[in-house]
Structure 1
Amino acid sequence: MHPDDIDFVVKAEAFLTRFFLENVGREKLLNYKISYSHRCKIKSGEYVLYNHQALMLTMDDNGGFGKSLNIHTRIDHLSNFNTYKISLIGLNGEPSFMNLSLDEENKENREFSKREIDIIKLIGNGFNNTEIAEKLFISPLTVKKHRNNILTKSNSKNTAELIKNCIIQGII
């Protein structure tokens, strides 16, 4: 791991433990995928950016951590810049929390609703506002409002950046 990223990874794991206890509830841990990036050295000696995704698969009899699945995907073809942000992607209808910083106390609302996640996935599949509205049985104006909220929450300048960030973070 890149020496400049070690401190971030250690603090990220502590932050995630605290975040779950204070904001989500330990009992919902199995309904989330955790995602953040860090750099690792490859055989050539070069450092490249990887996306770390973790899924808790089981918990022990006392409610402690059990088995987990951790996936590291090389993403330097998408970005060479580590954002030092953490995302929790809700599964099974749970809300998602995107682009959390270690130095913020979750002051900004970064939570994506289930509807927003549905819209992100449809955008990623190439659907326009009218098509999304038809699929979700809502008005195109409502889709437009959701899209604006999604861009704001994700700190994305446009749809292309949103989709790139969502791929990096494992939402789509």
Structure 2
Amino acid sequence: MDKKNLDHPKKQHPLTQVWNSYPDFFQNSSTSVLPVPSIERIIGEIFAAGQFYYYVINFADSTLCNHHENILSMHGFNKYPVHLKEIIDLIHPDDLEFVMEAERMCIEKMMEINGFDYQQELKSSYCFRMRTAKGNYELFHHQALHTYKDENGKLLQTVNIHTNIEHITHQNSYTVLLSGINGRKDFHQMQWINNNKTSAPSVIFTKREVEVITCIAKGYSAAKASDFLNISEETVRTHRKNILKKADCKNGSELVKKAFEWGYL
């Protein structure tokens, strides 16, 4: 096997099949010790509408480090997982095909928009079921942020954040999002078409409305959303009122549930 392939001799996992299909961006053999990402900055770029954890993936060998302690209790681990395969093994078998395709869709969308030039300002997200400490499968929301690249632009490290959203919804939209962070306004919504479990959302939101919904999901006040979006508080309130009416929702909690089910979060 080519030593540059993103694989581990004893810990193979199916995502390497996807990543190795894009050697110009993902294959690397770096063994250098990378600095710990700024978790404070990363948490500021995500929303966690429930209990969550994070971990760092080193792409040279798919090893994990810098775990959040919640990963132990949420999945019943006795010790921190050291390889991505241990996380992949938690995914519901029926969702694994979607996870692989979601990764492929994100990579190909980045190629389409020349997103590798600003990859560290893009976040990918989608949902899948994972086995929990209780022994059952529950719906998790996955977010990935790219933290380090080498001098040739190849990805070295990513931070993944998993949030249990079973208390919000059991319905997976099988939608993949590639969105901007750090002030970028990218928003690309992609639907997995190789399934018959979903239908198109009954409501179409504008780009600005999606930004407001994201702020609502993060629990932002009108004042904080105003600062974040650089619009007035009154405009935020107007958008919120119109969004709730458009979605036929009584409150923010009901809106977040529908936004997940319609693939906007």
TM-score normalised over the length of structure 2: 0.47
Q: Write the letter of the residue equivalent to 2:215.
A: K
Aligned-CA RMSD value = 4.0
Aligned to 2:6: none
State whether structure 2 residue 146 is matched by structure 1 residue 56: yes
In the comparison of the two structures, how many residue pairs are matched? 158
Aligned to 1:75: 165
State whether structure 2 residue 215 is matched by structure 1 residue 121: yes
State whether structure 2 residue 163 is matched by structure 1 residue 163: no
**Gaps (5+ residues) in structure 2?**
1-90, 195-203
Aligned to 2:190: 100
Higher Cα Rg, which structure: 2
User: Deviation string for 1:22-79 (max 9, x for gaps)?
Assistant: 0252111100121111101123331111111111001122211111111112111111
Instruction: Name the CA shift for 1:162/1:32 in 2 (closer, same or farther; >3 Å).
Output: farther
Instruction: Name the CA shift for 1:7/1:46 in 2 (closer, same or farther; >3 Å).
Output: same
Structure 1 residue 99: Cα displacement: 4.1
- Identity, in percent, stands at 29
Is the helix fraction higher in 1 or 2? 1
**Gaps (5+ residues) in structure 1?**
none
State which of 127, 133, 139 in structure 2 corresponds to 1:37.
Answer: 127
Distance in structure 2 (CA, Å) of the matches to 1:59 and 1:111:
33
User: Deviation string for 1:106-127 (max 9, x for gaps)?
Assistant: xxx98735x8626752695354
User: Deviation string for 1:106-156 (max 9, x for gaps)?
Assistant: xxx98735x86267526953549xx96xx824975x9747975x68xxx95
Question: Quick check: 2:92–2:130 contact (8 Å CA) kept in 1?
Answer: yes
Distance in structure 2 (CA, Å) of the matches to 1:13 and 1:64:
16
User: Deviation string for 1:61-100 (max 9, x for gaps)?
Assistant: 2211111111112111111111111122311221242542
Instruction: Name the CA shift for 1:122/1:145 in 2 (closer, same or farther; >3 Å).
Output: closer
